[in-house]
Amino acid sequence: MTYVGHSASAAEPSTTSDEGGETDKATFKDVVAAYVGLTKPRVIELLLLTTVPVMFFAARGIPELSLVLWTVLGGALSAGSASAYNCVYDRDIDEQMRRTKRRALPRHVVTPVSALVFATVLAVLSTVVLWTQVNELSALLSLGANAFYVFVYTMLLKRRTTQNIVWGGIAGCFPTLIGWTAVTGQLAWEPVVLFMVVFFWTPPHTWALALRYREDYANVDVPMLPVVAPAAVVGRQIVIYSWVMVATSLLLWPVADTGWFYPVVATILGAVFLVEAHRMWGRTKRSNDLTDIAPMRLFHNSNLYLSLLFVAVAIDPLLR
């Protein structure tokens, strides 16, 4: 499982060295923290939040605890692997961006070769865990998400198109499928709807962050939409995707024949999100200044929206 997302590095050691080797001044604790940082733990947390609730939904109740634990472990290893691969490939631009320059590779606490080996080991372990302890379909979906994130998003789309996050975000939708197949062993329309919710959620979430760091992306020639388009255009696109996201979230009600709890929560959360998206769009039409636009408000709101929506996905079958 993987996710096209953004978080601060967990490792910020105070020493550096040249590209040729790991620093001899960093402590063991610094190096361990650096490897943990390569996995982008905050991204893993959000991924698992879209995996476990779907398992409850698929089980129409509480799934087997051991199955949840193995799925979480395999998913975390896969997401960590994809993030580490991403850190290796993007180390050149990470060195130049304020948001990422304190990650392990730009600070040379870990060598690119060591990080590459680390990412590969995590990928192998993830596949073995999911294949042997969950099922083959979940393992293949996880491996496919990892490959999509690394080869399609990171290597092909990110530096070439303003639609990088739209299509690259597909990788972050796979946890909904993996959580479902872990329980049922097969795909169905219910997880596909949730897959699409995450797909339409990703652009508003990421473009809000990219607005905040648009100068960083511009300096390294990454054509995120906020870099190449006026803020008002970005705001309009965010509103469009937000409306489609909310409509898609409500589609789960008839498709899955949910109880009353999920559609009520989805409606309330969607209304709040749409109000915030429209407010930000209004601010972008009045000003191009980041202080006035306050894009991080929508970014944090998007995290809360997705978290609470999937909590509702887990709770709904328990109330029935």
What is the set of domains in the chain, with CATH numbers? 1-186 (1.10.357.140), 188-320 (1.20.120)
**pLDDT at 14 > cutoff 60:** no
pLDDT band at 87; cut points 50, 70, 90: very high
Residue 180: name the closest of 165, 168, 191, 192 by CA.
Answer: 191
**pLDDT at 89 > cutoff 90:** yes
This prediction has a pTM of 0.89
Cβ-proximal residues to 235 (8 Å cutoff; 6+ apart), any chain? 277, 280, 281, 282, 283, 284, 285, 293
Among 69-78, 105-114, 166-175, 285-294, which is the least confidently predicted range?
A: 285-294
- Tell me what the mean pLDDT of segment 199-205 comes to: 97
> What length is written for the chain?
320
Each residue's pLDDT tens digit, 247-293? 999 999 999 999 999 999 999 999 999 999 999 999 999 988 888 89
Top-ranked range on mean pLDDT: pick from 27-31, 36-40, 272-276: 272-276
Given a contact cutoff of 8 angstroms between Cβ atoms, the answer to whether 242 and 274 are in contact is: yes
Each residue's pLDDT tens digit, 106-120? 888 899 999 999 999
- For residue 100, what pLDDT is reported? 84
